[in-house]
Amino acid sequence: MQKSAVFVPHFHWDREWYEPFQVFRHRLVAALDTVLETAEANPDFRFTVDGQMAAVEDYLEMRPENRDRVVALVADGRLAIGPWLILLDEFLCSGETIVRNLQMGWAAAADLGGSMPIGYLPDMFGHVAQMPQILARGGIEHAALWRGVPGSVDGHAFRWRAPDGSEVRTEFLFDGYDNGLDVLLVPDQIGRALGEYADMTAERWGGDPVLAMAGTDHNAPDPNLAAWLRRASGDERAITIATLAEYIRDHVRDEVSAVVTGELRSHVRGNILPGVLSVRRRLKQRMADAERTVDHAERFNALWSRRDDSAFLSLAWHKIIESSAHDSVVGSGTDETADQVEARLAEATHAARAVRDAALAEPAAQVPSDGYLVANPLPFARTALVEVDVVAPPEGAVLVSSDADGSAHPVQLISKSPTVLSDERMDASQLERVLRRIHRRELFGRLIDRYELTAGTLVFHLAEVPTSGPFDLLILRREVADAAAAHPGEWRVLTLEEARATALVPVTVPASGLASFRVEPSDSGAEQSTTGAPATATARALANGLVEVEVAADGTLEVTGADGTVLRGVGRLVDGGDRGDSYNYGPPARDVLVSEPTKVAVDVLENGPLRSRLRVTRVYEWPAALTSDRDVRSEDTVSTPVETLVEVRAGEPFVRVSTSFLNQSADHRLRFHVPLPEPVTGSASAGQFSVTERGLTAEGGWGEYPIPTFPASAFVSAGATNVLLDHATEYELVGEGSELAITLLRAIGSISVNIHPLRDEPAASEIPAPGAQDLGMRIENRFAVVPSAAGWQAANAVALAEGFHNDVRVARGTAPAGGRLPADTTGVQVEGANVLVSSIRRVSDDESGAGTEVRLTAMSDTGSTVRVSGAFKEATTVDLLGRPLSTTPAADGLELELGPWEIRTVVVR
């Protein structure tokens, strides 16, 4: 029988969920008021604030007068705060977001006296493989969590090992983060109840005291808790009140024999609610967009701007991290909550975009206004295609682009714009109204180059870059007034733009660098060719010498890779019913799967030489919804055209695929299938600093059916198929490993349902969430398909995914037109196979001054040899909280040997 128990008073605080943020914050303030009063009245009381500083920040924003009270309790060891800014969903944000979450939480806790040194992860829906390394490289030796732990762990603790070998001792909250509440139901019977619980779980504890987590969602512990426990404690059983950190530090053994390696996604001791990976798809897309935008903004600000915009970047990161909360980006809240998360992510994107564009405006000021600046966010050189608006060539001429060294490159003309912007007839007395459209020199988004004023006619000639000298609006007003008085009656007002076109231009940009170009007509008439094989299109096929695509009769694709690998049936769409909720997919008892289109049409949109495109339109008859009994799909169907844009670009070894449709059906799941050449026994997906391998099944054993849908962020690989992804989503290997299925849409109407076919207990209240049906919304997804018989490493999937996710940025020059283009400029360059660079940003400290921080990860089980080069003289290796570890000279570049899956952070100066 256990002779001792440690109670940890706490609460779990979902910042927003079935109520929006401000409603929950109102409860939070009342709860923390109670906690402070209880702690100050009772020296024995301890409280653990859920491991997230957001709750403390939100509280102090409403109660700033209580800051000193919080600081005093933290200093006294009776209030445990940190280390996270927020309790996140680890699979639905980037690895870099996880790091920034820890950094910002740790810093916020330090301002109030210091952080709890425990990686507390109580309610996440599973855990990423690299979390032990993230914690360890932040100096944190312990974790505590609940969901996802495999059945092999039979005690209350285990060693959790990351792919690189890093380990943290992990307290397993095997009965959840509220296991102490049942013991406290009858205060006069705590001793008896605790004894019964200790006996039932004795095999878990060994010689360690029982950990009783005394708290639950959104409620402060009873102020009488300490008194109850004092009465219950005695000779039979010693009861202690502690913070979680005190329990782990003072009451348990460090020696733990059980070891678990990699991600934690087992259902055996708790529901991991995998359906959150695919519900409310827009939130996942907005998260990916916000993360990419702030990443680019940091890189450009560090490398190309004299202005330190760290305040705006911190704001953007804070809003992204807030949105990564495990009831926020997952989409398991009400429509109000989802709208607020989406707006917050948009605000983060806007702040980051402002920094990004301002950073590029500085070097753009050195580029003539008839030229363009191109910025590469990636630390390796690349040739990218950019679309720009240019002057259309005269008849018989072709467009070419030239760069700083005078080299000419082919340009693909995509479209031409109309030259007549308006043709109006009006009385002379109305001409003044036309002049009100002019703002200094701007008219209809262009600039007035010149105008012609004759009897009864006024003609404006607009240009993007005027060439006719100064323009005086006051003179124009006087001339028009005189002409109107001299020629009353009908006038014609014609607004003409110079002939414009949209051109596709190939630009080679150095690593983390800048390049510039201009586009101009060439009257040589010489045939332009691309470097290597051009992209071509026929009525139903695309090719570029590296990959070939042919559209089958049913609208699916046959894709042939550079090594001869053939994938047939790519893009088969399968639509089925979903009677589940935001947490779990739920198949209807009598499902109807729709996979065959009723109509197929193929149109050629572009025919190279740089880019070729086909549009495949397939029409499906999808059931409108489930019937009232929720187990049958309606016989009423909705005719739904799905457009698939298929694209190949010169020099790319993959085919780009985008799908788009207007969703008019409810209660359904749509998946994009890629049949595999041969059945496989497993898959691998990239995200959060690792590539994780998985089998065809998931471990079950609790109250949730272990459906083997898994998360993927950057790419997913199965056999000879590699699919690059635009945002985090779910996938599954179906047909006994013969097909890869990626979810495009999961449309449901309730946060949780009380009776679920794949889950025993409700995950929350049965609250309607009609917005999660995405009715009337255009559903868009984009991928790239890379055939490779040798797998993801041979296909160079890490680098290909980085290029696919991170487009170059283009800015118009602002220097006087006609000047010389500036020379190309290289920033930080990173060379090495299977290396991910997740961050390049400006940092500064009082001792060493300004520097540029670079975070790298070896994305393979063999490690990587890496060379980092740029305009710096020394490099300091730092931990994930930015604390220096060692400094080495690096005037000739920095050579690094990264171990398998190692995350390394260096600051170069």
pLDDT in tens, 520-546: 888 664 444 456 799 999 999 999 999
Q: What is the pLDDT of residue 236?
A: 66
DSSP state of 778: E
Would you state the pLDDT for residue 390?
Answer: 87
Phi (first) and psi of residue 245, to 5 degrees: -65, -40
Cβ–Cβ < 8 Å for 103, 882: yes
What is the rounded CA–CA span in Å between residue 99 and residue 528? 47
Residue in this structure with the two tokens 């540029």, named with its chain if needed: 852
The SS3 call for residue 750 is: strand
Whether the CA torsion 137, 55, 319, 777 is positive or negative: it is positive
Give the predicted TM-score (pTM) of the model.
Answer: 0.95
Q: What is the pLDDT of residues 333-372, one digit of tens each?
A: 999 999 999 999 999 999 999 999 999 999 999 999 999 9
Residue bearing tokens 């080299």: 407
HEC letters along 96-117? HHHHHHHHHHHHHHHHCCCCCC
Tokens for 179? 């296991």
Please state, rounded to an integer, the average pLDDT across all residues of the chain. 95
Half-sphere exposure of 723 (CA within 13 A, CB side): 31
Question: What pLDDT is stored for residue 234 in this prediction?
Answer: 79
Whether the ω angle into residue 822 lies within 30 degrees of 0, i.e. cis, is no
Q: List Cβ neighbours of 908 (8 Å cut-off, separation of 6 or more).
A: 828, 851, 852, 854, 868, 870, 872, 874, 875, 876, 890, 894
Q: How far is residue 332's CA from residue 338's CA, in Å, rounded to a whole number?
A: 8
Regions of the chain where pLDDT drops below 70: 1-2, 235-236, 396, 523-531
Beta strands in 583-713 (DSSP E): 599-607, 611-623, 637-649, 655-662, 668-675, 683-687, 690-694, 710-712
The three-state secondary structure class of 658 is strand
Cα distance between the two ends of the chain: 60
Percent pLDDT > 90 in the chain is 91
The confidence score (pLDDT) of residue 131 equals 98
Q: Which residues contact 130 (CB under 8 A, 6 or more apart)?
A: 95, 162, 163, 164, 688, 689, 690, 901, 903
Res 590: pLDDT: 94
Question: CA angle at residue 557 from 730 to 664, to 5 degrees?
Answer: 55
Q: How many other C-beta atoms can be found within 10 angstroms of the C-beta atom of residue 425?
A: 11
d(CA 854, CA 865): 16
Taking the C-alpha atoms of residue 480 and residue 435, their distance in angstroms, rounded to an integer, is: 9
Provide the pLDDT for residue 871: 93
At 523 the pLDDT is 66
pLDDT value of position 526: 42
